[in-house]
Structure 1
Amino acid sequence: MPQGPLLDTNSPLSAAQAQRLNEALAELSVDQMTWLSGYLAGLSNQGGMHSASLSAQDAAASSAQPEIVVLYGSQTGNAEGVAEQARDSAKARGFNVRMADMADFGKKEFKAPLNLMVVVSTQGDGDPPDTAEGFYELMHGRKAPKLTDDTHFSVLALGDSSYDQYCKIGKDFDARLEALGARRIHDRADCDVDYEDAAERWIDAVLERYITLTGAESGGSSAGAGQAIPATDLESANSIYWKKNPFQAEVLESIVLSGRGSDKETHHIELSLEGSGLTFEPGDAVGIVPQNDPAHVDELIDMLRMDADSELGEGRRLRDALLSEFEITTLTRPFLEHWSELSDAAELRRLMDQESRDELRDWIDGRHIVDVIEHFPVEGIDAHTFTQALRKLPPRLYSIASSFEAAPDEVHLTVGIVRYETHGRARGGVTTTYLADRVQAGDTVPIYIDRNKNFKLPHDDDTPIVMVGPGTGIAPFRAFLQEREERGAKGRNWLFFGDRRFRSDFLYQTELLNWRKKGILNRLDVAFSRDQQEKVYVQQRMRENTVDIYTWLQEGAHFYVCGDGERMAADVHRALLDIVRDQGGLDEDAAQEYLRELQQAKRYQRDVY
């Protein structure tokens, strides 16, 4: 048997199947497992005999079906989930389907003509997923494959319209495949954070084009093939509860972690999973379905001079919809374009021009929808017209800060509460203030589990790991350490943690020091930026340990980063690149290739936001 437990990520089994098999195997003796292996071999042979009895005509018909390659690049799992949905829908229509991660897709894959369905996300403001960086560079570099119109494609781009470079990576791949000579068979679909319905429409439309294009005989019905429940959830024990049908989890505790004198507010929140059947692994996240601040909703309605009970259809009323259905804070380009048309304000129209892009970005910074309404008022607008350009209120994802093995009926979160003031208004994070101000112990919070296959502990418990998690980025590493303690893992563990002040911001200090005392946490390096005149961050601590970090990597260590993706993750990446370059005697290109190989081998994983 492979080292470590069976998982859906290291076997062809679903998560639920792997869990049941692990439980069954744990109760078997060596003799029983030997007998079972022979029994399973016999069953396999019977299956082979049965398969061999298929008619040559059926086998030929199967091989004659056209192949579709579903190619994906995914950071947190959303793009992979859509790709799995596309795979299942294509199979239901009778296609042969091959699903491929961009991390494993190279130039040689393009030697024969392909029928491609490309699903890729954009990280932050215009970056490819970590595992897709190598493929992105290949396709946009001098070594890119020369394609012909026998290679067909369509692209689904996932992104967030609050970013300036919305869906940039999908747009880049769409343009590049065409420039290399491939034939676009359906227009690119750009999907915002509420992507499910748009993704389903794209899948159906592209597959219908492939049926027409290839003359394939549909082997199934499209009805129900593109269900909104992600395929990743359908294959797991968590299929009942998801973002549109969350579990109501009772709040067991909400403890302020930050101490006296801190200028930050960080909460440790414990939620009950009792009776839910929900399971998770270290590295997964909890999706929380929040509500908007009622005071902000009322301010918005008053400013628009609307009736809170205005009908929106299907029994929905304006105030209720603004509380729980629509995003009413974050500014997106679609909303600004909509408001520009409604207000006909010359200044807003000017800001929306392409040449004013940088000025618009600066103007948006720190402002919300209410500021646009205040600056560019529209008289007599009705509720339906206003909500038409609002996007759905998306769930917020929080890295799980506990191990299911250590606390199976609970899930823990580490939440930094967002509060600030800009342009004369007090602001707050939608979900963080919901959790901190309006939810108390005994209340329930709507949640679901969001699995992240790209942020996982090594399968081999003897593998060393290095974790970099400043601030609330400590959350998944608390789960990692709990899990390794429960499993009796022998692999060494090294944590870099940083925050502002030792006395007030050393999150989970007692637990971390206890793990170090037990020998579970072999090394702990901390950086408290405000405790001395010159600020010190985790990347400086890494540079102080250059030799040891490189030695750990050479010995097979996995390297993890969690936290701020805008600055911290980039600084840590640069420090790691310098360490590899200097200690390995490599030039810049070779050092970058070293890190790409780590990423492709799932030995360098990031959970950044």
Structure 2
Amino acid sequence: MTDKPPLKISPATIGNATALLLLAGVMLLFLPLTKGNWWIASPPQERWWIACGVLILYIGLCRWSFRKRPNRRTSESLSGRDREAVLVAYASQSGFAYELAEQTANSLRSGGIATHLVALEQINRQQLEEGGRLLLLASTTGEGDPPDHTHSFVRDVLGDSVDLASLEFGLLAIGDRAYEQFCAFGHRLNQWLCDQNAQPLFDLIEVDNADPVALQQWQTQVSKTFQTTKQATWHPAHCEPWELANRTHLNPGSPGGRVYHIVLQRRGNEPQTWQPGDIAEVTPVHAPQRIEGLLQQLGEDGQATVVHNGQECSLRTRLAESELPDVTECRGLKAQGIADRLQLQPLKNRDYSIASIPADGRLELVVRKFVRSDGSTGVCSDWLCEQANLQQTIQVRIRSNPSFHPPELSVPLILIGNGTGIAGLRGHIKHRSASQQSGRSTGDLWLLFGERSAAHDFHFKSEIEKWQNQGVLDRVDIAFSRDQEERIYVQHKLSRFANELKSWVASGAAIYVCGSQQGMAPEVDQVLRETLGDGEVDRMLASGRYRRDVY
């Protein structure tokens, strides 16, 4: 069985209970004054009974509201589930596997198939042993690691010897070939299920960086296996047009890469909503000079009209929005031949943490221009940071990322990050600030952040100082690694404040980490384990008090 985190009494509950006790005490103090005819128009007896009933109802509602806890993931309870229903389970670090699982469940339901959608950690050993049909969508994070929220399943179920002969399963392994341990967690799940005699419904399907061909293969296999009446075509999620309203170079003179504050304004009247921790998927476009160079090599006119998916556009536009072909394979082909023969694939969206909240009325990102050792640049970072013109349309889709959504306002929060990770942390700080301005009380907030130099890389310095003065940020510790002879990083600051860290965690604080997957995130994790102990860190992972958005 999955361990449940110990029940914690929130500060809000304590405060309300204290207020009720104080009111009761005041009532008792005034009780001696009520002897005799204390009011010439004393209410009749039946009204006293009505008042008592209302008071009891109020206390009951308060008790119910104190105990109720919102579920931060859109998952369904497995208690009393139909054993014939298909179980669709997700293991998601950035929200992508969760979104695909939702689409899979909805596709089955539209075909008349009963379905339960759950997070992987909601499944226990007994439920697997009971058998049935299971569809798993599993992301791999870091160097072959499982998503954080699956910790209790990995600890309590995965690896045990279980008789799963009555279980049939299909598995979608999601990863990125840029990492050495491609789809490692998906393969680990697949191997364990097979070792326990579970029966695969079809061969494991790998998805590299949201490859639409692999996603369509998954949808085809699901439709074929469950014989849904109409096979759905897997379309990429729809992007919306935003306008590049402003772009600011945040760190001129820095020894590190150029960092930009990107501000996007929604086009159209339909409002967009999101939560702190959600992801902005940006559709990139190749730099114009790169496309012109390719056209010259091909000897083709960029204005030549081509047809793609039934729509006409120029060859220049088609190339700018596509993965570029190998020139040697295109020589001798005319414009339409290039589009047809090579079946150009659209450029894949890039993910960015959102640095604003909907109340700001704009979508804000923090982007570092990526430059490789050979001088070539990242397509999307180059597009956003330098190539796109102000007022130009940027195609964006906002993706929910429940794994990094904020805790309850009353929970103390420790935000840790470095570099452009300030974007995701800034969204959480803005959320707390807006809540305070609306009159709601919030838990303490501690920011630990790392960059290169105070003179050039103190992103949003005036904002952070303002939040400190307003009491939004109760504590701020910044590590500037290049400002002294010894390199000091954010993990070193965290280790230095070990006693304070223990105190905050003991008071119920949650820890959110955003930034570099290489270096910062694993070393912060090591400091947490050295300071708090493996058991406490693992419990925080399992209960959602320790969350990471790293890349």
TM-score, L = length of structure 2: 0.77
Q: Paired residue for 1:119, among 129, 134, 137?
A: 137
Residue 293 of structure 2 aligns with which residue? 299
Mapped partners of 1:106, 1:498: distance in 2: 39
Q: Paired residue for 2:235, among 214, 228, 240?
A: 228
Mapped contact 2:177–2:208 kept (Cα < 8 A):
yes
Relative to 1, partners in 2 of residues 1:595 and 1:389: Cα closer, same or farther, differing over 3 Å? Answer: farther
For residues 315-359 of structure 1, give each alpha carbon's deviation from its aligned partner in whole angstroms, at most 9, with x where no partner exists: 4554322201x234xxxxxxxxxxxxxxxxxxxxxxxxxxxxxxx
Q: Paired residue for 1:517, among 447, 453, 469?
A: 469
Mapped contact 2:367–2:381 kept (Cα < 8 A):
yes
Mapped contact 1:89–1:222 kept (Cα < 8 A):
no
- Structure 1 position 282 matched with structure 2 position 276: yes
Mapped partners of 2:364, 2:113: distance in 1: 43
Mapped partners of 2:477, 2:91: distance in 1: 33
- Structure 1 position 397 matched with structure 2 position 351: yes
Mapped partners of 1:522, 1:511: distance in 2: 14
Question: Which residues in structure 2 correspond to 1:338-487 (within 5 Å)?
Answer: 380=331, 382=333, 384=338, 388=342, 391-405=345-359, 407=360, 409-422=361-374, 426-459=375-408, 461-487=409-435
Q: Paired residue for 1:572, among 517, 521, 524?
A: 524
Mapped partners of 2:519, 2:219: distance in 1: 36
Relative to 1, partners in 2 of residues 1:378 and 1:440: Cα closer, same or farther, differing over 3 Å? Answer: closer
Residue 256 of structure 1 aligns with which residue? 249
For residues 21-67 of structure 1, give each alpha carbon's deviation from its aligned partner in whole angstroms, at most 9, with x where no partner exists: xxxxxxxxxx9xx99x99xxxxxxxxxxxxxxxxxxxxxxx998822
Relative to 1, partners in 2 of residues 1:253 and 1:127: Cα closer, same or farther, differing over 3 Å? Answer: same
Worse-superposed segment, 280-289 or 252-261: 252-261
Mapped contact 2:91–2:139 kept (Cα < 8 A):
yes
Residue 316 of structure 2 aligns with which residue? 319
1:475 Cα offset (Å)? 0.9
Mapped partners of 2:349, 2:129: distance in 1: 42
For residues 505-535 of structure 1, give each alpha carbon's deviation from its aligned partner in whole angstroms, at most 9, with x where no partner exists: 0111111111112221111111111111111
Mapped partners of 1:572, 1:390: distance in 2: 42
Worse-superposed segment, 166-175 or 378-387: 378-387
- Structure 1 position 601 matched with structure 2 position 543: yes
For residues 118-174 of structure 1, give each alpha carbon's deviation from its aligned partner in whole angstroms, at most 9, with x where no partner exists: 111122443322222443455653x242321x2101111222234443333223322
Residue 50 of structure 1 aligns with which residue? none
1:203 Cα offset (Å)? 3.4
Residue 347 of structure 1 aligns with which residue? none
Residue 33 of structure 2 aligns with which residue? none
Question: Which residues in structure 2 correspond to 1:486-565 (within 5 Å)?
Answer: 486-488=434-436, 489-565=441-517
Mapped partners of 1:601, 1:431: distance in 2: 35
- Structure 1 position 96 matched with structure 2 position 114: yes
For residues 400-451 of structure 1, give each alpha carbon's deviation from its aligned partner in whole angstroms, at most 9, with x where no partner exists: 111223x1x21211111223441xxx21121121122222333332222121
Letter in 1 for 2:132: L
Q: Paired residue for 1:82, among 95, 100, 107?
A: 100
1:228 Cα offset (Å)? 3.3
Relative to 1, partners in 2 of residues 1:387 and 1:516: Cα closer, same or farther, differing over 3 Å? Answer: farther
Mapped partners of 1:247, 1:64: distance in 2: 38
Letter in 1 for 2:323: E
Relative to 1, partners in 2 of residues 1:303 and 1:162: Cα closer, same or farther, differing over 3 Å? Answer: farther
Relative to 1, partners in 2 of residues 1:118 and 1:311: Cα closer, same or farther, differing over 3 Å? Answer: same
For residues 54-110 of structure 1, give each alpha carbon's deviation from its aligned partner in whole angstroms, at most 9, with x where no partner exists: xxxxxxxx9988221111101111111111112122223333322221223232322
1:3 Cα offset (Å)? 9.4
Q: Paired residue for 2:162, among 140, 145, 158?
A: 145
Letter in 2 for 1:160: D
- Structure 1 position 268 matched with structure 2 position 261: yes
Mapped partners of 1:575, 1:79: distance in 2: 29
Mapped contact 1:73–1:119 kept (Cα < 8 A):
yes
Mapped contact 2:10–2:410 kept (Cα < 8 A):
no
Mapped contact 2:272–2:358 kept (Cα < 8 A):
no
Letter in 2 for 1:574: Q
Letter in 1 for 2:186: G
TM-score, L = length of structure 1: 0.70
Relative to 1, partners in 2 of residues 1:430 and 1:608: Cα closer, same or farther, differing over 3 Å? Answer: same
Mapped partners of 1:311, 1:210: distance in 2: 39
Mapped contact 1:65–1:96 kept (Cα < 8 A):
no
Q: Percent identity?
A: 27
Q: Which structure's CA Rg is the greater one?
A: 2
Letter in 2 for 1:299: G
Mapped partners of 1:210, 1:293: distance in 2: 45
Mapped partners of 1:501, 1:510: distance in 2: 16
Equivalent position SS for 2:404: coil
1:465 Cα offset (Å)? 0.2
Residue 41 of structure 2 aligns with which residue? none
Relative to 1, partners in 2 of residues 1:476 and 1:190: Cα closer, same or farther, differing over 3 Å? Answer: same
For residues 448-499 of structure 1, give each alpha carbon's deviation from its aligned partner in whole angstroms, at most 9, with x where no partner exists: 212111111112x121000012111111221211111111142100001110
Mapped partners of 1:257, 1:63: distance in 2: 53
Q: Which runs of 5+ in 2 are unaligned?
A: 1-8, 12-53, 62-79
- Structure 1 position 107 matched with structure 2 position 107: no
Letter in 2 for 1:506: F
Relative to 1, partners in 2 of residues 1:181 and 1:390: Cα closer, same or farther, differing over 3 Å? Answer: farther
Letter in 1 for 2:128: F
Equivalent position SS for 1:270: strand
